[in-house]
Structure 1
Amino acid sequence: MRKIVLAVATASLAVPLFPAFSQAEGHAYNGRIWQDSHGRYRCKRPDGTVGLIIGGAGGALIGRAIDTKGERATGTIIGAAAGALVGRKIDRSRVKCK
């Protein structure tokens, strides 16, 4: 029984590797920079999701602290939206291709 479980676990770890080999045909991949099928060099860039989440949370806290009158929901919502936009822009502007 132990050998069967180990065999199944090993096979399940090897399965995700096979599609990676078939997708690499015709493309030279070297870490963050690769050459596409047209010969142009491409660079892996962040999509801004982390900056969006962190910026939204930080903006909500700052907006809530600034809006001290009433129920404070308006300041929280506007701060979250502004913080998310700024955080996404900062995260997407960081390109580390060399």
Structure 2
Amino acid sequence: MRNLLMVIAAAGLIVPPAAMSFPTKAEAKEKKHRAYTYRRGGRTYCRHSDGTTGLIVGGVGGAVVGNSVDNGGLLGTALGAVGGAFAGRAVDRTLTANKRCR
């Protein structure tokens, strides 16, 4: 217990809470905008979502639904996984479309 209190006291001396700063709304907006752009050779390019997260989540979800619809059959699971993967990728790309560069 004593060692724990000493570690907490030492951490408080190293990083006092008053020294921490929080970004303003303008800084947060600028940082968010920079996350979707990058520069190379003097030109600005946009980062685009490839839909991988939606592909994986949709595939797993589709496999579960297909398995339950087909009562444990392999065909239902496979078709559900493929359909869910395509649908999940499309949804992921659609939801992130407004966050891309214009």
Work out whether 1:32 is the aligned partner of 2:36. Answer: yes
Alpha-carbon separation, structure 1, partners of 2:55 and 2:79: 14
Alpha-carbon separation, structure 2, partners of 1:32 and 1:88: 19
Please, which runs of 5 or more residues in structure 2 have no aligned partner? 1-33
How many pairs does the alignment contain? Answer: 66
47, 52, 56: which is aligned to 2:50? 47
Work out whether 1:92 is the aligned partner of 2:60. Answer: no
Alpha-carbon separation, structure 1, partners of 2:75 and 2:54: 22
64, 67, 88: which is aligned to 1:64? 67
Deviations 1:36-72 (A, max 9, x none): 6585x5321211111111100000000011112xx51
Runs of 4+ in 1 over 6 A off after TM superposition: none
Q: CA deviation at 1:86?
A: 0.5
Work out whether 1:82 is the aligned partner of 2:91. Answer: no
3-state SS of the aligned residue for 1:63?
Answer: helix
State TM-score, norm by structure 1.
0.56
Alpha-carbon separation, structure 2, partners of 1:61 and 1:31: 34
Please, which runs of 5 or more residues in structure 1 have no aligned partner? 1-29
State TM-score, norm by structure 2.
0.54
